A = this chain, B = another copy of it.
């Protein structure tokens, strides 16, 4: 699975499991909502610093967002 699609799937999965909207996740991770939407759709190419911020907001380890 292409890495951006994989990250998008994982971010969406963990976000929904936590009952957060994209807006809430974006606020927690200090990102724009449209950026979170783009990550989830696999059209963004986030850096590891952004991955770490998303992971913190989702309450998971950063490596979890890149797991198959």
Contact = CB atoms under 8 A, between A and B. Distances in A.
Q: How many copies does the complex hold?
A: 2
Interface string A4-40: 1011000000000000000000000000000000000
A58 B6 CA distance: 19
B62 A3 contact: yes
A4 B53 CA distance: 12
Contact of A51 (B48, B52, B61, B68): B48
A4 B6 CA distance: 20
Given A62-B3, A68-B61, A45 B45 contact: no
Interface of A: 3-4, 6-7, 45-49, 51-52, 61-68
